[in-house]
Amino acid sequence: MSIVKTSFSQIKKRKIATPKERAVSIAKDRITIILVCFAFVWAGITAGLSYVSWISDGAFKPVNRSKSYSENIIKRSDILDRNGSLLATAIPTASLCVNTKHVLDAEEARQKLKALFPELDNQRLRRAFESSSSCAMIKRHLSPEQQVRVNSLGIVGLEFLPDERRVYPVSNLAVHVVGYSDIDNNGLAGIERFMNDRLQQDLSPLELSLDLRVQTIMHRELSEAMKEFNAEAAVGLIMDIATGEVISMVSLPDFDPSKPARASDEQKFNRVTLGVYEMGSSFKIFNTALALETGEIKIGDVFETAEPIHIGGFSIKDMEKHKHSMSVSEIFIVSSNIGSAKMARKFGAKKQRAFLERLGLTEKISIELMEVGTPLLPPKGKWSDISTMTISFGHGIAVNALQLAAAAATIINDGHFVNPTLIKKTGETVKDTDAVVSPATSNAVRALMRLVVKSGTGRRANADGYMVGGKTGTADIVAKDKKYSTDARRASFVAAFPIDKPRYLVFAFLDNPKRSAKTFGYATAGWTVAPAVRNIISQAAPMLGVLPIPEEELKARDDKIIAPVKHSLSSE
């Protein structure tokens, strides 16, 4: 132990003997001083960062330009269905920019970024690195994984900025209602566009009238019908008759709203509201209602329907030739064009046009969408006798599906006008006092619609346990030579349930369904669309609180609803 103490004492007291050792000692002293100073500086920086982090709720904003940019990020509220299911929302993302003043090797940086993101445009990338901006944008909306990969490149001068991206959890399921937005979250279609200011200014969720469960059923059944009959497109909607709320709205083909640039014009086209079409015999609902409302025609009045009508070089025929005269009820149930035309000729063009105006079928319909088509119809001065007759069975006038549905709902709603909406209603809906038709006329039309499903052209829409009433509509498509095609048509079906106390209206439409052996060579609405409507009602009704009716009760209610027109069916 004494030897160790002596050696240590000798070493401690030994003086530096050479200039080299003296220089090394001075250098060490200086390094020590520098390290001590650096420690104090680092402690100050750490304290400053902690303070900034504390006053900004833990979200450190590195430089003023980032703060300025983040303050301009568009905040956008969620879109929900009527039950609170999420249809559209915004998620936090990061965008990548470059501060060229800090970049050490621009060419190397560009090459690394291009390798990581091959989709980047070379010219835009080069301009970003040549910009004098302190934050030249390179790529928007990076995922967390992409951020990690950018960081691993080790490029000085790259910065991440806080951003938001609009996402659609249900994808294409409600795309023509919800719509989509651009990269800056500005609405470009659907509710996103129509309610753009509301979605930006009020961050509370926007509740739509849609029911996602029912929307799923409608989408699936239309997709299957479209595939089965090799149709070019399909349309469907369900409306609450009391409130006008649209519970479901589907237009096919559709697309992914998160990738609108990949969608074709056909996919983006909203056939429910933007497309206007000749709807065929569905218009017989309005023709019959007007005939009865004028008082000039009674439900039991008989019209000769055995021979075609020849007028102005045209012939009005029935799909199936009838050898006997028919009452107003029979004309509706078997869907006679001849009988409908003769009824219309009796009350005339002036009354017809005025009635269609009151139903909202002559002007663009009001709904919370920008994509709304304008009806096509003869000008007032050219509403001829032949126009009156063809319009009676849905030719010579083109409207959108929503208009037709709202007008039909009005007729069976004791004549109280139905205003459709895509926004969920919370208060009680007040019915107007100026009804379009009387309750008696409404009762008669409801009875006829029930008979169409029980024994007429819409038998395949009869859902077990439900009082479904409806009307088929098949319209030939106008070909390029402006003549009606003999082998191309649009088939539609408008239905309501329960028809004696109407709560919901259903409309479905297939564009150019093809004939098949299963339908015995027919491609009309009764064969192609009516079965889809039956399937939709069977599945959706319980979700909407309408339960199946026991057989005995169903029969009793059938007898009651048919009573107002029963006397007119004696010739059947």
Q: CB count, 10 Å around CB of 145?
A: 8
Q: Name the pLDDT band for 181 (thresholds 50, 70, 90).
A: very high
CA-closest candidate to residue 398, choices 387, 411, 409: 387
> pLDDT for 311-364, tens place per residue?
988 899 998 888 789 999 999 999 999 999 999 999 999 999 999 999 999 999
pLDDT at 70 > cutoff 50: no
CA-closest candidate to residue 507, choices 425, 399, 414: 399
Output the pLDDT for position 293. 97
- Give strand pairing partners of 165: 91
Mean per-residue pLDDT for 465-481? 91
Output the pLDDT for position 130. 94
The dihedral through the CA atoms of 116, 121, 125, 126 has a sign that is positive
- Of residues 114 and 75, more confidently modeled: 114
The dihedral through the CA atoms of 234, 240, 242, 245 has a sign that is negative
pLDDT > 90: percent of the chain: 78
Mean per-residue pLDDT for 13-30? 45
Of the candidate ranges 209-218, 304-313, 524-533, the one whose mean pLDDT is the lowest: 304-313
- Of residues 90 and 320, more confidently modeled: 90
Output the pLDDT for position 487. 82
* CB distance 514 to 229 below 8 Å: yes
Residue 479 DSSP symbol: -
Mean per-residue pLDDT for 552-562? 97
Q: Name the pLDDT band for 570 (thresholds 50, 70, 90).
A: low
Residue 527: C-alpha distances to residues 318, 452, 534 (Å)? 17, 13, 12
Of the candidate ranges 126-135, 245-254, 537-546, the one whose mean pLDDT is the lowest: 126-135
pLDDT at 55 > cutoff 50: no
Mean per-residue pLDDT for 412-434? 90
Of the candidate ranges 69-73, 100-104, 238-242, the one whose mean pLDDT is the lowest: 69-73
Of the candidate ranges 257-261, 279-283, 479-483, 505-509, the one whose mean pLDDT is the lowest: 479-483
> pLDDT for 218-235, tens place per residue?
999 999 999 999 999 999
pLDDT at 41 > cutoff 90: no
* CB distance 362 to 356 below 8 Å: yes
pLDDT at 6 > cutoff 70: no
Mean per-residue pLDDT for 77-91? 97
- Of residues 9 and 389, more confidently modeled: 389
Q: Name the pLDDT band for 38 (thresholds 50, 70, 90).
A: very low
Output the pLDDT for position 74. 62
Q: Name the pLDDT band for 56 (thresholds 50, 70, 90).
A: very low
> pLDDT for 253-303, tens place per residue?
999 999 999 999 999 999 999 999 999 999 999 999 999 999 999 999 999
Output the pLDDT for position 399. 98
Q: What are phi and psi of 410, to 5 degrees?
A: -60, -45
Q: What are phi and psi of 341, to 5 degrees?
A: -65, -40
Output the pLDDT for position 321. 85
Going by C-beta distance under 8 Å and a sequence separation of 6 or more, which residues neighbour residue 37?
A: none
Residue 163 is which amino acid? D
Output the pLDDT for position 10. 42
pLDDT at 54 > cutoff 50: no
> pLDDT for 142-153, tens place per residue?
989 999 999 999
